[in-house]
Amino acid sequence: MPLRVTAVIKMYSMSPYSGPLLSDEEAIKKYNDEKQWGLHIAIDLGECDHQKICDGECIKQFAIDLADYIDMKRYGEPIAVRFGAEPKVEGYSLIQLIETSCIAGHFAEDTDRAFIDVFSCKHFPPEKTAEFCKEYFGAKKMQYATLFRDI
């Protein structure tokens, strides 16, 4: 049976690999002017403070502090669970629901890396958010990508 495509989904993304990132002001203007449904930022951190990314209470407090920083209303308490069947993935995973979506992350203890996602249908500043995460976990390296979500 032939495959039939009935819809085309477009996603606009920016990262160091796909071109220059927009400033916070430009990203928020694009979000508002184009009436995007959601804003998503994927943050990769390297050479993090090992003690911080191995501390479940620190990670939970991070979710609370980040939600406050980007003016998001938390829905419930953050959940941070440590697991992983092999060293590459062993560490905490985080979820913090917010009224407009969620903050999520995974903290790779073996390599001192953190992978954090913020998705919301309320705008927030992507670059400042990434910088906040970098400083919070004492990362020496950071890259991030901004995605505008709509259909």
* pLDDT at residue 7 greater than cutoff 70: no
Band (116; pLDDT cuts 50, 70, 90):
very high
* pLDDT reported for residue 57: 98
Q: How many CB atoms lie within 10 A of CB 17?
A: 8
- Least-confidence region, from 2-11, 15-24, 62-71, 91-100: 2-11
Query: Quick check: 38 pLDDT over 90?
Result: yes
- Report the alpha-carbon distance of residue 127 to residue 132 in Å, rounded: 9
User: Tens digits of per-residue pLDDT, 49-102?
Assistant: 999 999 999 999 999 999 999 999 999 999 999 998 898 889 999 999 999 999
What is the structure's pLDDT at 87?
A: 85
Confidence at residue 85, expressed as pLDDT on a 0 to 100 scale: 87
Q: Structurally, what CATH architecture does the domain formed by 12-149 represent?
A: 4-Layer Sandwich (3.60)
3-state helix, strand, coil in the chain (%, to 5): 25, 35, 40
Task: State yes or no: pLDDT of 8 exceeds 50.
Answer: no
Q: Which helix (H) or strand (E) holds 26?
A: helix 24-33
Average pLDDT, the chain: 90
Q: What pLDDT, on the 0 to 100 scale, is given for residue 10?
A: 46
Residue 6 confidence (pLDDT): 44
